Amino acid sequence: MTAPGTPPPLTPDDVRTVGTPVDGRVPDVAPESAWDDRRLHYDLVAPANRRKFTVIVVGTGLAGAGAAAALGELGYQVECFTIHDAPRRAHSVAAQGGINAARARKVDNDSVHRFVKDTVKGGDFRGREADAYRLGQESVRVIDHMNAIGAPFAREYGGALATRSFGGVQVSRTYYTRGQTGQQLQVAGANALLRQVAAGTVTLHTRQEMLDVVVADGRAQGVVVRDLVTGEVRAVTAHAVVLATGGYGNIYCKSTLARNSNATAAWRAHRRGAHFANPAFVQFHPTALPLMSQWQSKTILMSESLRNDGRIWVPVRADDDRAPGDIPEEERDYYLERRYPTFGNLTPRDVASRAARERIDAGYGVGPLKNAVYLDFADAVQRLGRATVVSRYSNLFHMYEQATGDDPLRTPMRIAPGAHFAMGGLWSDYDLMTSVPGLFVGGEVGWGYHGANRLGANSLLSACVDGWFTLPYAVPGYLAPLLGTPRLAADDAAVLDALEAVRARTERLLKNDGTQGPDRFHRRLGEILYRCAGVTRTPEGLAQGIVEIRALREEFWRDVRVLGEGAALNQELERAGRVADYLEMAELLCVDGLDRDESCGAHFRADHQTPDGEALRDDAAWCRVSAWESPAPDAADGRFVRHDEPLTFQAVPLQTRNYA
């Protein structure tokens, strides 16, 4: 019952309207033939004409570095921007466990079609089937290419590249460099980028943050950036813009992402007209370290690869305070092996996270705060020997010991679900172009491959496929009809308007007469999201989240305090701008979760579950992408507009996920 005088909870109709559908422009052929068909029909730019085009690439992770290097190698003039002091510092370094590829070099019955089946099923049938095929088909080239440019993949005794398994699959298709795969791939990609910088085809701009997109004549023609050292705000124009700026997991404040990771570039592009797809689809990694203090600034990621040899368990008895070594085998609940015997500890991330959260909430959590489960390597050490286990995961064990003071080979690791990867992102068509012509996306800032749950080791793959083998086809296909079109003039009205918008927002933050720093608001926002839009959601919780986020956003603009000046290094200003964007994006995240009246993948609604607690989809109503348009700041009703893209499945028919 609602208390007297309390307004009724928000409903989807209170916060959104439904607009016209969007077209993903997938070729009208069988999904396994779509990529070959599209490449055949792309317009081409002759080698002599490529230097006449300028392309902006924002971000230097695997997707951004790959796209910039590949376009530069082809002969285009590339302006590449990064917030980091060097391209290799991009957050792709943090993906530790491996990169998938359907090369089928082991005789375990893997194939491109099996890769697609695993990816589509793992995403709970909420991604594009044709995109998943492109991912699998190009995965073979990715491994060969990254190996050729210097990634030191692990090898078998005879010299063949080694593989291991990851969650949601029953084959061995994950290539790795111990627990440093992202770092080693990033080094190789950054070196390829710097090769083009030396060749003069790429101009690299470090310590530059993109704060707006210049849209003129209905297409993206530049960006506005702020020099993070000097504070200078300037515009750079081009014939096309590629955003490869990562995901928005840090909206939860305490996430596995680096503190500097943010969603400002994507959100500012959204505010310029780029639809945002499925913002509620956020993955909680089951192998993060639990929070040990409310003042902890972030969580730490332990690679999913550890689940190959580690066994996850909790005590059979609730509130068991005994040390793990004192709990006998018969009093341990290996709950993933019990509930999902076919996949065991390698269930997909959303399934493993929900199961861990359920055990913790039911009183079986372990550790000082009772907020974790155990990941135990004792059986692996006994079976394989300590040296073999250490050779596979040495740096991960070292990182865990540095963070906690415990040796994970003597005492089981303590792990818990933590906000991690964003399956949602800027909506794009099959060519990775957003609803703003000329604005492309690559990597986690996009949405298409992973549906409602990403399988482990598909993130590095999707970034590499986008950067090296999709954008270098799609961007020239867009540019070809623009041959002879000059770059937008620096004094064009659209450029001046974008510059003024950035300066006005900066001044508003600096002149606000508040009392609280931006980090306090970010922490409070994270608490709201974990509570209202976490591993498990309810319509009542999501509605309450919208109300609380709106109130927090109003308080932010009334009471935020930003010290320092704009024309200088000012990290407080950077954080304030990013938190302001999160406070807008968070409302849309909850709106999307409230609107999507089903459970699917990582979007688990407690009111839509099977009798045994699994996600219950509604394919009749929700087999589609939600591509959102935000209301204008001065809109009368302030409601978001949802544009739908229907999803179809031919090669992998719709089915109920079952990992038991």
Active site residues: 349
**Closest alpha carbon to 468 in 500, 432, 502, 434:** 432
CA distances from 497 to 208, 483, 501 (A): 20, 26, 6
Q: Which residues contact 358 (CB under 8 A, 6 or more apart)?
A: 613
Cα separation of 247 and 165, whole Å? 25
At 392, which amino acid appears? Answer: R
Asked if residue 203 lies in contact with residue 72, where contact means CB atoms within 8 angstroms, the answer is: no
Q: Which residues contact 465 (CB under 8 A, 6 or more apart)?
A: 134, 135, 138, 139, 142
**Own/partner pairs for 319-328, CB < 8 Å, 24+ apart?**
319/363, 319/370, 320/364, 320/366, 323/411, 324/366, 324/374, 324/376, 324/411, 324/412, 325/411
Place of tokens 């080094």: 187
Longest Cα separation, the chain: 75
Q: Which residues contact 417 (CB under 8 A, 6 or more apart)?
A: 284, 285, 286, 288, 353, 356, 357, 535
**Own/partner pairs for 608-613, CB < 8 Å, 24+ apart?**
613/354, 613/358
Cα separation of 433 and 478, whole Å? 9
- The DSSP secondary structure of 557-623, one letter per residue, reads HHHB---S-SSS--HHHHHHHHHHHHHHHHHHHHHHHHH--S-BTTB-BTTSB-TTS-B---HHHH-
